[in-house]
Structure 1
Amino acid sequence: MITSPVLAPDPQRGLVGVGNQTYFEVLNMNNKSKIAVIEIIELFRGRLEGERLNDCRSDAEHGEWGMAFENLCTQLEEFDVLPNEHEYQAIRTAGESMEIDPQNWNFLAPNKN
């Protein structure tokens, strides 16, 4: 049986990892994170330079969705691309589900004047 530092064998459930999830539950969660990050990246196509978005998307497609997410948030701030409420909620939901420190994305919250 193949194991990794985050997965351990369980005689009844196979490989289990963080939060006592099975290997397939972890894969499914990771796939959902990847899809969510790619969808968020695409929300900003036309508002942020294509090459920057392509770099973020490439990171996400290669399993680096957390890095892609954080880089996207940094790029949005750096180039003054302000998310609307819908876009911010997508960012917030993804950030929370991936357990990324809110300091990496909460600065993008739309001003409610």
Structure 2
Amino acid sequence: MYSIDNKAYPCATSLTMRYIGGKWKAVILIHLIEKKRYSELRKECKVITERTLSLQLKEMEEDGLITRTVHTAKPPLKVDYELTDFGRTLIPLLQSIAEWGTQTAQSNQRIKVLR
């Protein structure tokens, strides 16, 4: 049993899913393996609404997975996101998830690859 912020997690898997669970967190995190400006991330994650992307980024920042850097030197305002050292520990897991998805898509005739 694990506990974070007075919330209990019955196993290590549920603890992991606390950080990367949901529809978009793993997708966003894999895009942030390389540091990105918000605008770049937005372009790469077109299917995610701007509101959802902002909320997910805020949650992951609060969880210590990513950092947000605001550059105010000159307009327009620029915001960078990148994985923290803690967030980087997820890279092998995220890559394994992506690899599994690719293999599954290639071997399952019901799955159509859309471009």
TM-score (norm 2): 0.25
Which structure shows the higher helix fraction? Answer: 1
Which structure shows the higher strand fraction? Answer: 2
With CA pairs under 8 Å and 6+ residues apart, which has the higher RCO, 1 or 2? 2
TM-score (norm 1): 0.25
